[in-house]
Amino acid sequence: IELELSSCDASVRTVTPVQSSAIKAHGRLMIAAWAWFGPLGAVLARAKLLCLRHGYAKAWLYAHALAQLTALILTAIGFSYAYNAIEDADGVSHYTYRHPKLGSFVMWGALAQFVMGVFRPHPPKAGDAKSTLRLCFEAAHRLLGYAVLTMGIITILSGINKAFDLAHIHEVKPWNTMAIVPVVIAVAAMLVTTAVTFCGSGPADDGPQKAEAVDGRVAKEEAEPMA
């Protein structure tokens, strides 16, 4: 019921609630993006030198790009589910809560990461020093990547709690399990990969100079197709 105070006229307005099915679909897509594929991309990034040393340069490049692109696509679809669900509900603002604001940062941050990856400056050739632009790209790509991934996980957990508070889901534990377990596995994989990469020894371990040289050749070959 809406009441106009100036004229004391009253009217009845039908309000459509946000559909729980759309919110659940949104949650599943975001969990897939930022608890599964986002961390997988981070694990692959951590395994870069290890893959390059053993001759899997192209495989690493494509696997990392595919994981990140999949996360971006799932994020876009999940974002559209939530946006349309709220758009179809009367009297509800898109940014009523903190969760959609965090989600917007994740969405645009993921897009920025992908664009940076496509238009990345090439690594130096063997024996050459990295350019300032390359160093800036590596630092920005790494920092933004971890920031978006961390914010994505935080946004998922806040969204689960918000969905429970608004009665879109009836239990928190199974949703938290879907989100937390793969992240824990990814963190463990990153720690193991880091240990193997920097603590291993043997004839295949020729140091980062060889890795950068291989990476340089691969990046040169793949720059045009990926751009």
28's tokens: 């599943």
pLDDT digits (tens, 9 = 90+) for 16-46: 777 889 899 999 999 999 999 999 999 998 8
3, β-bridge pairs: 10
d(CA 81, CA 78): 5
Average pLDDT estimate for 112-129: 85
What's the burial of 71, exposed, middle or buried (CB within 10 Å: 0-12/13-18/19+)?
buried
More confident residue, 164 or 99: 164
